[in-house]
Amino acid sequence: MRAAGIEVLKNEHKDELLTFLAQRPIHTVCMSSFVRDNGVVSPLNRGTFYAYRGTTGQIEGAALLGHATLVESESDEALRGFAELTHQGSPFHLIRGEHQMIDRFWLYYAELGHNARLTCREILFESQTITPLAAVQPDLKAATFRELDKVAQINAEMILEECGVNPLLRDPDGFRARLARRINQDRIWIWQQNDRVIFKADIFAETPEMIYLEGVYVDPKARRRGIGQRCLSHLSNLLLQRSKSLCLLINEEHEELQDFYRGVGFQSRGTYETLYFTPKNV
């Protein structure tokens, strides 16, 4: 037997970490994608990976602590340890995770004197549905660098509306660089008409088991006409050829938006909590 505790993970722990995260792929897709894309140790992860090991030496909890703090563990000891580490470094932006897990994490983190600037409860939706479609579909394409400015403006407006931070003001170079990398990975999909973006969706994270979508956008002038539904159904069919499942988060207050996703085959799989904190420079 060994003493339980937390350790910083290195690239040599990649396979072990991915094996642990693979136990709940819908809840760990973001961390798994970071590790697959960048390795365990990389500035592109915008944080540091930690593991909590029990007395057997096996990983019983994992966390990415940094700009976004993500945690995965059923162990209260691990959650307490991750909360103390987060306190020492302080999150740049947000803490996110499954509702019950984050509630337990927050009990320890709040004891250390922290208050969230904004709290959002979100519904986790998943789809594995291939939808029969009409013969003619929107001409969805992976965005290119020519569309970078358009995508950056749309995403910045969506982020500002969601959490009150404009990334084009806070970190314009870093924000555009991250979007450019996503474009280079074919992870931003758009449909344009007359040089105007009508539909857009970002793949934030991707593994063979799960794709996590964010930033799904329909031009305001094109809403309530079935365009968003046709585009998302078409995109879902395309993406389910390269991964087993799709997932995304929707604010629980946006009931009409939840109905929209149910209408294209998504089903609720649980509740998430996102805690936003006062931004710091990155």
Q: Which residues of the chain have pLDDT under 50?
A: 281-282
Both structure tokens of 264: 């294209």
How far apart are alpha carbons 119 and 56 in whole angstroms? 36
Nearest to 166 by CA among 177, 157, 178: 157
Structural element, H or E, at residue 127: strand 118-127
Cα-Cα end-to-end distance for the chain: 40
Residue 224 pLDDT: 85
Tens digit of pLDDT for each residue in 199-235? 999 999 999 999 999 999 999 998 888 899 999 999 9
Both structure tokens of 156: 């910045």
Residue 281 pLDDT: 46
How far apart are alpha carbons 158 and 221 in whole angstroms? 16
Residue 117 pLDDT: 86
Structural element, H or E, at residue 9: none
Strand 5-8, strand 68-73: pairing: unpaired
Residue 278 pLDDT: 72
Residue 92 pLDDT: 63
Residue 114 pLDDT: 87
How far apart are alpha carbons 108 and 228 in whole angstroms? 41
Nearest to 192 by CA among 160, 151, 224: 151
Residue carrying the six token digits 């697959």: 36
Tens digit of pLDDT for each residue in 1-43? 566 799 999 999 999 999 999 999 999 999 999 999 999 999 9
Q: Find out whether 97 and 26 touch, Cβ atoms under 8 Å.
A: no
**φ, ψ (nearest 5 deg) of residue 260:** -60, -45
Q: Find out whether 22 and 14 touch, Cβ atoms under 8 Å.
A: no
Residue 29 pLDDT: 98
Q: How far does Cα 246 stand from its chain's mean position?
A: 12
Residue 196 CB coordination number (10 Å): 11
pTM here is 0.92
CATH no., domain 5-115: 3.40.630.30
**φ, ψ (nearest 5 deg) of residue 114:** -100, 145
Listed by start position, the domains of the chain span: 5-115, 141-270
CATH no., domain 141-270: 3.40.630.30
